[in-house]
Amino acid sequence: MAANFVIPTEMKAWVYREHGDVASVLRLDPEFEVPKVQESQVLVKVLAAALNPVDTMRENAAVPGYDLAGIVVKAARNVKKLKVGEEVRGFTLHASNGTLAEYTAVEESLLALKPKKLSFEEAASQPAVIQIAYGGLEKAGLSPGKSLLVLGGASGVGTLAIQLGNEVFGASRVAATSSTGKLDLLKSLGAELAIDYTKVNFEDLQKRQSEQAVKAIKLGGSVVTIGEHGKTKPPPAFSFVATSDGSTLAKPVIDPKGPFPFSQAIEAFSHLQSCWAAGKVVIHPIP
Ligand SMILES: NC(=O)c1ccc[n+]([C@@H]2O[C@H](COP(=O)([O-])OP(=O)(O)OC[C@H]3O[C@@H](n4cnc5c(N)ncnc54)[C@H](OP(=O)(O)O)[C@@H]3O)[C@@H](O)[C@H]2O)c1
């Protein structure tokens, strides 16, 4: 029999009160209205969330956050796949409700069942970065025998790209760059060559990464970029933008300074923006 949950009308949620720097405009609202589920949505009790750089740009009056892991506490009439009581996770791209809140309403198509072997914080750390790393490598045509260079290997997306390049796409050799303190992390994830970009004369840091990457590849190689939106890329570099379809896999890499409790979301955002983060900045527990 499906579990029954008592759902309050109000909840705690972090909300952008105006545009501006996260630390000065993000506020904890203890009486935010719990969202209503639309036709094919479920209401999720959020137990863990993870931050992505895009969360610093969410609109005025919105709750930030796209990554989540939690429990389905209500399902609208047209929900086919998920049931109340199931543990889920997802990257809730385009959802109007954010995940830095006790509850969020999400299309069921954006969620997948949480792998049992992962904790909620591990499960929340992966959805967005798996999809961007997997999709980017696929679009770049990485296949067995080819080699891969990941610029920004200690970032959320980079940590997944190293692992997927090795284990899923069968790259013959994976190299990655990071600042000095994160080289061991790159190696532990499977990078055969961990390049300290602050010491090796590989990059002119004033230049954009796509330009540096184009110089590094062999004839016939590909360069896929996930940042530098709206800027032209030197050929053969091209942009990849993530979509959301609720997929799985790989080892979670949670930034060791976290997980940050819900009350410390502003500290978590500062850490994300500090350059010190390695892997994913996770928020857990959520009250
Ligand atoms: N196209 C898409 O759909 C899509 C989706 C997701 C993300 N993105 C973009 O992809 C990029 C990477 O995303 P991510 O989530 O992997 O990033 P992230 O986890 O926040 O990246 C953090 C890493 O970036 C490096 N870094 C260099 N300069 C930094 C700075 N000024 N502030 C903070 N970190 C800095 C640091 O490593 P080192 O110390 O080694 O430099 C740090 O470990 C971002 O530009 C993001 O907006 C695009």
The residue whose CB lies within 8 Å of the most ligand 1 atoms, and thus the one to mutate among 129, 138, 157, is 157
- From the CA of 155, how far away is ligand 1's center (Å)? 5
pLDDT at 8: 97
Place of tokens 């978590």: 268
Nearest atom of ligand 1 to the alpha carbon of 157: 16
Nearest atom of ligand 1 to the alpha carbon of 181: 39
- From the CA of 156, how far away is ligand 1's center (Å)? 7
- From the CA of 282, how far away is ligand 1's center (Å)? 15
- Which residues have C-beta within 8 Å of that of residue 220, sequence separation ≥ 6? none
The ligand 1 site (C-beta within 6 Å) comprises 52-54, 128, 132, 152, 154-158, 178-179, 182, 226-227, 240-242, 272-273, 275, 277-278
Q: Which two tokens stand for residue 253?
A: 């890499």
pLDDT band at 215 (very low <50, low <70, confident <90, very high): confident
The residue whose CB lies within 8 Å of the most ligand 1 atoms, and thus the one to mutate among 57, 131, 151, 155, is 155
Whole-prediction pTM value? 0.89
- From the CA of 239, how far away is ligand 1's center (Å)? 15
Percent of the chain exceeding pLDDT 70 equals: 92
The string of pLDDT tens digits covering residues 11-30 is 999 999 888 889 889 999 99
- From the CA of 277, how far away is ligand 1's center (Å)? 9
The string of pLDDT tens digits covering residues 44-57 is 999 999 999 989 88
The string of pLDDT tens digits covering residues 115-136 is 998 999 999 999 999 999 999 9
Q: Are strands 111-113 and 87-91 parallel, antiparallel or unpaired?
A: antiparallel
Closest residue by Cα to residue 62 from 13, 20, 102: 13
Q: Which two tokens stand for residue 25?
A: 């405009």
pLDDT at 248: 46
Instruction: State the Cα angle at 127 between 250 and 34, rounded to 5°.
Output: 145
Q: Which two tokens stand for residue 95?
A: 């959802």
